[in-house]
Structure 1
Amino acid sequence: MVKNTYDPQTAMDQLDQRFQASIARGTLSMSPLQGFLSYIDWSRHLAISPGKQLELINLAIGQGLALAQYAQRTQTVGIPGTPSHHTNLNIEPPITDRRFSDQKWKTWPFNMMQLSYLMTEQWWKEATSDIRGVTPHHMDIVSMSVQQILNALSPKNFVASNPEVLQKTLEEQGANLVRGAMNAWQQALQQYTGTPDPKLENFKVGQQLATTPGKVVLRNQLMELIQYTPTTKKVHPEPVLIIPAWIMKYYILDLSAHNSMIRHLLDQGYTVFCISWKNPGVEERHMGMDDYLSMGFFAALDAINHITGQHKVHATGYCLGGTLLSIAAAAMGRDKDDRLLSMTLLAAQTDFSEPGELSLFIDNSQLAILEAEMADIGYLTGEQMAGAFLLLRSDLLIWSRYIKEFLLGEESTMNDLMAWNTDTTRMPAKMHSQYLRRLFLHDDLSESRYPVNGRPVSLTDIHVPIFCLGTETDHIAPWRSVYKIHHLCSSDITFALTNKGHNAGVVSEPGHKNRHFRVLARSNNDPYLGPDEWFKTAQFQEGSWWNCWFKWLNERSSEPVSPPPMGNPDKGYPLLCDAPGIYVFEK
C-alpha cells in the first residue's frame, strides 16, 4: 500500500501563500486590506464624532474667510514676467511654506492657488488626526495616503499653475516641455530595457567609488571581509571593524576619496576592516539573522583576531549593521566574550517601539502579503524597498524631480551618494521576515526577548563604551528612537546628533559646508536625561562630527605600533583579491 504523503494543512497554506503573492504583484507589495480597514476605521469614527465634525466645519469656514480677506488685500497682476505697477510682492499669505518660497508665488493668481492648496492640506491634516477611537496605526496610514494625493495635486506640478514653469514655457516657447518629454521618454526606455542611467558612468565602483586600497581576506556564502592598506607608518594596535547595513552596498562608507569614512579612519592611524555583504539570491532564501551573526559579524571578528593578533576590537555599525552589532554585543556580554573594546552605532535603532515612518509599512496584514511574495521568489527585491522610501519622501524624491526634469526640461544631476542610492540589494526571505517581525513588530530586542543561539539576550549586558550618532531629519531611524539606547544600556554613552538625514548626516566629512552637531557624554552613574532635555543641554559645535568621533576613538586606543600584515594565510586568511572584492558588483 502506498503511503499518502498529502498534507491538507500544508496544501491549504500553500494555496493561501500563492494567492496572496499574486495580490502583492498587483498592489506593489502593499496590503489592500490594511488600507481598506484603515479607511473604515477612520471614516466610521469620524462619523460618530460630532465635535470633531464641528471643528472641521469651523476650520473650513475660517479658512474661507481668511482666503477671501487675503484676496481683497492682494492686487491683480498679469502673466509672470510682465511688469505691472499694481504688483505688490510684500503681502505674506496667512500660511507660508518653504515649497512656495519663490517670490513668484506671491503674485496673483498664484498666491491664491498656493494659499488654497496649503489650507486644503491643513484641513486634511486636522481631519486625519485626533479622532477618538481610531487605531493610531490606521490613522497614520490614512494620513499618509491623503498626503500622497495632496502631493500629486500640488499646483507646483502643473504648467498652468506653476509660475516658474509657466514663465519658462513662455520664454522658450515650449522648448522646455519638449525637452521634458524627451527626458520622460529616455527614463521610460531605460526602465523598460533595464539600461542604467548614463550619468552613472562617472560613478563606477572600483574606479570613482570604493577606491580605498585593500584586500579581501575572507569570503563565505554571506560576506567578504576587506582589510584596508594602512596609510600611516604606525597604527593603533586595536583595529576597527565596520558592519554596514545589508539593504544597500557597503561603500556608502567608502564613497569618493574626499568623503570616504574608511579612508579618513586609515589616515587617523587605524587598521580598518569592513564587511561587504553578498547580494543574496534564491540560494540564500533560508538564511536568517543567526546566519548574519555567525557568518557575518563573528566570522569577521575571528578573522581580525587571527590576522592582527589583537584581542580587542573597536566595532562600528551603520543602520541595520548597528542593530546587528547591538545584538552581537549583548550576546557577547551574556557569554563573557570580552573582545569588544568599544561600540559605535551610526543611525541605528535598538528600540523599535517608535520606529518612525517605516512603521506605516509594517503590521501583520502587510507582513503577510510581503512574506507570501518573498516565499515565491526567495527574497525581497531592492526595488520594493526603494519604493517604500520614495513614498515616504514623495514630494522631494518624486514630484520635485518631475518638475525639474519633465516640466522645466532640465537634466538631472548625479553625485556619489545618489549613485550609491541606485545600487540596491536584495534581502533573504527568512532574514527579512525575522527582522521585521522580531524587531520592528514585536520589539524583541529592547524587551530582552531576542534569541541568539537559543537563548534571549539583553542590552543590559553591554558594558563597553558606546558612541551613538543620530541625525536630525532621519525618517528611517528617528534620532529620538536611536536615543533610547540610554535607558537600555548601563554603559558610558557619548551621544552625538548631527544635522541632515539618514545618509547625508553620516557621510559628513571634515570641511563639508553647512554641517553642525551636538554632543554630550553620559557615564553610567549619571541620571537619565530625556531627549528634549538632552537637546537643550548638549554642546553645539560647527563642523563634522567625524572629528569628535576620531577623538573619542583615540582616547580609547593604545599608542601606535607597526601595522599588522595584510591577511594571514597560515591561519586560513589568504589575500583573495583586491578591494572592493566581487560581492559588491553582484546585481
Structure 2
Amino acid sequence: MTTKVANSPPDLEKLNANVARIEALSQRLIAAIAQKRAPNPALEAPGFELYAKAAGAWWAEALQNPTKVMEQQVSYWGQALQHYVEAQKALAEGEMKAPDDPTPNDRRFANPLWKTHPYFNFIKQQYLRNAEAMQQAIGNLEGLDARDRARVDYFSKQILDLMAPTNFLATNPDALEKAVATEGESLVQGLENLVRDIEANHGDLVVTLADREAFQVGGNIATTPGKVVYRNRLIELIQYEPTTEKVREIPIVIFPPWINKFYIMDLKPQNSLIKWIVDQGFTLFVVSWKNPDATYADVGMDDYVEDGFLAAIREAKAITGEERVNAVGYCIAGTTLSLTLALLKKRGDKSVNSATFFTTLTDFSDPGEVGVFLDNDFVDGIEAECQRAGFLDKYFMSRTFSFLRANDLIYGPAIKSYMLGEAPPAFDLLFWNGDGTNLPARMAIEYLRGLCQSDGLAKGTFTICGEKVSLKDVKVPLCAIACETDHIAPWKSSFAGVRQMGAKDKTFILAESGHIAGIISPPGKDKYGHYTSDGPMEAAGDWKAGAEKHRGSWWPTWGDWLDERSGKKTAARAPGDAEHPLLTDAPGTYVTEVPNA
C-alpha cells in the first residue's frame, strides 16, 4: 500500500479510482449480507427478563432512595460539564491543546492525539466518564441477586466496549490519518476485508484473525511425526513416533477438547507440548475428534465416553500391551474424563493409572464469566438451534468465547482489518483459534443442561452410560493444572472441583496467564511461572497464599510427577502393531475435514 507524503497535494485520479472501487465493493457487500442466516433472537442477546429485572431494580432504587440516585446523576453531570468548560477554555485561549486529562491509561487510546488533540481528547474523556458513570450506577443497584448482577454488569460492559470511539471512523485518529495518507486506499482495502469476511461466513460477520494462507495443518504446523493407528466414527487415535531409545512402560493418552482442534498442543516444534512429551521418553497417543455435521445429531455424552475415551484407552492398551494408561483431559475433555473415571470406578475397571486435568471445570456452581451465557434465555436458544440444524455450528461457540475478550478478539482486529485496511497477521495461535468445530446437537444440550446448568457431576446427579456418577467416584491419582487468569475455566472453580474428587493422591498446579497461553508455556522462555503447594486443598485463596511460586514453565514439574507414575523403562515402541495397521500420517484426516453444512 502506498502512502502520501505529508502536505503533498491529493492524487485526484487515485482518489476517484478508490471511490469507484468502493461502489463495486458495496454491491458485493449487499449480496453477501443477503446470504445471512435467519437470526435467532435468543442467541443474539439476553432475554427480556434480565432487562426487566435491571430496570425494576433501578426504579425501586429511585423510589426508595432518590437522593442517592440524584447524587450519582449530579456528580456525572458536573464532571461532564466541567470537562466541557475546560475544553472550551483551552480553545478560547487560542491554543490547539487539550485540557488536563485525569482519565486512566487505556491501550485502546494509544495514539498520542487522544491526549494532545482537543477534539479527540474531548471525545475520549467524555466516553470514559460516561462508562464510569454507567458502571458505578450498575454497581450501586440493589435488589438483584449475584447471578443477575453479574449478567447485567457483563452485558453493560459489552455495550460500553461496542460504543468506544475507537470503533468508529470519524472518531478514530489512526484510521483517519491512514485514510488521508493513502488517498482513501486504506478504507477501500478495509472494505475489501469486510466483504471477504462476510462472504466467507455466508452473511455473518466473523473477523479473520490470522492469515489463512500462511499455515497448513500437517505442513508447517502440527508436524510432530506420528501415525493414525485407529479410527471410528468419533475419533482418530494418533500414536507419535518415539525420539528416545527407551520409554516409560505406561503410555499417555491425551484427550483434547472437541470444541477446538488438538493441534493447539502442536503448533510449532519449539512450543509443541506433544513433541515435548515424546522427547521426555513417553509413549504418547492423542485423540483427534471428528468434526460433526447433522448426521451426528443423536450423538450424546454417552457416545463420547464409549466411542471416544474408552475406545482410545482400550486401543492404547492393546497396542502397547500394558494394562493401564495415564490419561489427560483438556477443558471439556477434562470434564468428560472425570465422568469416564467415575464410570470406570463403578464398573471396577482399573484401566487408568493416573489422570491429569488441564483447565478443567467439574464444579459449575461458579462458572465465571462464561456463566452469563448459561441461563435459560441463551440455552433455550441454543437448544432450538440444535434441533433445527442437528448440530451447534462452530460460529456460535467461537462468537461466545470471543465476546469474553471482545476488545482483543473482536473490536481490535476489526479496527485493524476494516478501518486501517491491514492484512491479518501470520499468527499460528490465531489461525488455530479460527479453525473451530461443530458440536452434535444431543451432546451440546446434555452438556449444557446436565453439567453446566444443573451441576450434575458435583451434585452426583449426572448419569453416564447408565451409571449415576459423582466427583467422589474419581479415585485415581491426579494432577490438575489451572490458569490464573483463565476466563473460560476460572482457577478457583477448577480447584473446587478437584477438592471434591475422591482421590487421596492430588496435586494442583496453578500456572500464570490464561486458558491457552498458560497451558502452551514451554520451558526456556520463562514468560510465565507457576505455583505449587503441599498444603491441604481446602480454600483456594488459602492454598495460593501458602503456595511456592516457581519461575518458568510448569511442564517439567508435571513431567516429574508423571515420570513417577509411568513404570519402568522399556524399548521404544513404533506406532501400531499387527492388529493396528498404520492408516495415515499424523495429524490425520479428521482434523482437516470440512463437515457438510
Same fold (TM over 0.5): yes
Q: 1:208 to 1:61 in 2, by over 3 A?
A: same
- Deviation of 1:384 after TM superposition, in Å, equals 1.6
What residue is the counterpart of 2:577 in the other structure? Answer: 568
- Deviation of 1:278 after TM superposition, in Å, equals 0.8
1:144-163 equivalence runs, <5 A: 144-163=154-173
Give me the whole-angstrom Cα distance separating, in 1, the residues matched to 2:180 and 2:210: 30
Q: 1:494 to 1:92 in 2, by over 3 A?
A: farther
Q: 1:52 to 1:470 in 2, by over 3 A?
A: farther
What residue is the counterpart of 2:19 in the other structure? Answer: none
What residue is the counterpart of 1:494 in the other structure? Answer: 507
Give me the whole-angstrom Cα distance separating, in 2, the residues matched to 1:34 and 1:95: 30
Q: 1:533 aligns with which of 537, 542, 548?
A: 542
1:441-520 equivalence runs, <5 A: 441-489=453-501, 490-512=503-525, 514-520=527-533
Report which stretch shifted further, 229-238 or 383-392.
383-392
Give me the whole-angstrom Cα distance separating, in 2, the residues matched to 1:391 and 1:370: 16
What residue is the counterpart of 2:115 in the other structure? Answer: 106
Contact 1:327/1:445 (<8 A) preserved: yes
- Deviation of 1:407 after TM superposition, in Å, equals 2.1
* Matched position secondary structure for 1:543: coil
Tell me if 1:271 matches 2:278.
Answer: no
- Deviation of 1:85 after TM superposition, in Å, equals 12
Give me the whole-angstrom Cα distance separating, in 1, the residues matched to 2:42 and 2:245: 54
What residue is the counterpart of 2:452 in the other structure? Answer: 440
Q: What does the per-residue CA deviation read over 1:294-332, in whole Å, with 9 as the maximum and x for residues that have no partner?
A: 111111111111111112321111011111111111222
The Cα RMSD (Å) is 2.9
Give me the whole-angstrom Cα distance separating, in 2, the residues matched to 1:105 and 1:42: 33
- Deviation of 1:504 after TM superposition, in Å, equals 2.1
What residue is the counterpart of 2:30 in the other structure? Answer: none
Give me the whole-angstrom Cα distance separating, in 2, the residues matched to 1:188 and 1:462: 46
- Deviation of 1:154 after TM superposition, in Å, equals 0.7
What residue is the counterpart of 1:282 in the other structure? Answer: 294
| Unpaired runs of at least 5, structure 1 | 1-23, 79-83
Give me the whole-angstrom Cα distance separating, in 1, the residues matched to 2:268 and 2:343: 35
Q: 1:578 to 1:77 in 2, by over 3 A?
A: farther
Give me the whole-angstrom Cα distance separating, in 1, the residues matched to 2:345 and 2:214: 45
Q: 1:356 to 1:389 in 2, by over 3 A?
A: same
Tell me if 1:298 matches 2:310.
Answer: yes
What residue is the counterpart of 1:332 in the other structure? Answer: 344
Contact 2:209/2:424 (<8 A) preserved: no
Q: 1:410 to 1:281 in 2, by over 3 A?
A: closer
Q: What does the per-residue CA deviation read over 1:531-565, in whole Å, with 9 as the maximum and x for residues that have no partner?
A: 22223222222222222222221233334220234
- Deviation of 1:165 after TM superposition, in Å, equals 3.4
Q: What does the per-residue CA deviation read over 1:267-306, in whole Å, with 9 as the maximum and x for residues that have no partner?
A: 0000000111111122221111111111111111111111
The count of residues paired between Structure 1 and Structure 2 equals 553
Give me the whole-angstrom Cα distance separating, in 2, the residues matched to 1:510 and 1:90: 48
What residue is the counterpart of 2:416 in the other structure? Answer: 404
Match of 1:394, as an amino acid? A
Q: 1:472 to 1:29 in 2, by over 3 A?
A: farther
Q: 1:474 to 1:28 in 2, by over 3 A?
A: farther
Q: 1:30 aligns with which of 23, 42, 46?
A: 42
What residue is the counterpart of 2:187 in the other structure? Answer: 177
1:416-431 equivalence runs, <5 A: 416-431=428-443
- Deviation of 1:95 after TM superposition, in Å, equals 4.1
Contact 2:462/2:468 (<8 A) preserved: yes
- Deviation of 1:101 after TM superposition, in Å, equals 4.8
Tell me if 1:578 matches 2:585.
Answer: yes
Match of 2:169, as an amino acid? V
Q: 1:46 to 1:552 in 2, by over 3 A?
A: same
Report which stretch shifted further, 280-289 or 451-460.
451-460
Contact 2:211/2:427 (<8 A) preserved: no
Give me the whole-angstrom Cα distance separating, in 1, the residues matched to 2:243 and 2:449: 43
Give me the whole-angstrom Cα distance separating, in 2, the residues matched to 1:135 and 1:553: 43
Give me the whole-angstrom Cα distance separating, in 2, the residues matched to 1:532 and 1:100: 35
Match of 2:531, as an amino acid? R
Q: 1:118 aligns with which of 112, 128, 140?
A: 128
Q: 1:176 to 1:239 in 2, by over 3 A?
A: same
Match of 2:582, as an amino acid? L
- Deviation of 1:88 after TM superposition, in Å, equals 7.8
Q: 1:271 to 1:160 in 2, by over 3 A?
A: same
Contact 2:47/2:378 (<8 A) preserved: no
Give me the whole-angstrom Cα distance separating, in 2, the residues matched to 1:96 and 1:348: 34
Match of 1:470, as an amino acid? A
- Deviation of 1:74 after TM superposition, in Å, equals 7.5
Give me the whole-angstrom Cα distance separating, in 2, the residues matched to 1:98 and 1:70: 22
Q: 1:282 to 1:122 in 2, by over 3 A?
A: same
What residue is the counterpart of 1:230 in the other structure? Answer: 242
Give me the whole-angstrom Cα distance separating, in 1, the residues matched to 2:101 and 2:533: 40
Match of 2:153, as an amino acid? S
Report which stretch shifted further, 532-541 or 321-330.
532-541
Give me the whole-angstrom Cα distance separating, in 1, the residues matched to 2:113 and 2:151: 34
Q: 1:33 to 1:70 in 2, by over 3 A?
A: closer
Give me the whole-angstrom Cα distance separating, in 2, the residues matched to 1:75 and 1:144: 35
What residue is the counterpart of 2:74 in the other structure? Answer: 61
The two structures have a TM-score, normalised by structure 2, of: 0.85
The two structures have a TM-score, normalised by structure 1, of: 0.86
What residue is the counterpart of 2:25 in the other structure? Answer: none
Report which stretch shifted further, 241-250 or 324-333.
324-333
1:358-437 equivalence runs, <5 A: 358-437=370-449
Match of 2:521, as an amino acid? S
Q: 1:89 to 1:318 in 2, by over 3 A?
A: farther
What residue is the counterpart of 2:15 in the other structure? Answer: none
- Deviation of 1:261 after TM superposition, in Å, equals 0.8
Contact 2:86/2:99 (<8 A) preserved: no
* Matched position secondary structure for 1:283: helix
Match of 1:493, as an amino acid? K
Contact 1:39/1:138 (<8 A) preserved: no
Tell me if 1:352 matches 2:364.
Answer: yes
Q: 1:29 to 1:230 in 2, by over 3 A?
A: farther
- Deviation of 1:339 after TM superposition, in Å, equals 2.5
> Percent same amino acid at aligned positions?
37
- Deviation of 1:248 after TM superposition, in Å, equals 1.3
* Matched position secondary structure for 2:122: helix
What residue is the counterpart of 2:28 in the other structure? Answer: none
Q: 1:67 to 1:32 in 2, by over 3 A?
A: closer
Give me the whole-angstrom Cα distance separating, in 1, the residues matched to 2:100 and 2:481: 42
Give me the whole-angstrom Cα distance separating, in 2, the residues matched to 1:33 and 1:182: 28
Q: 1:115 to 1:537 in 2, by over 3 A?
A: farther
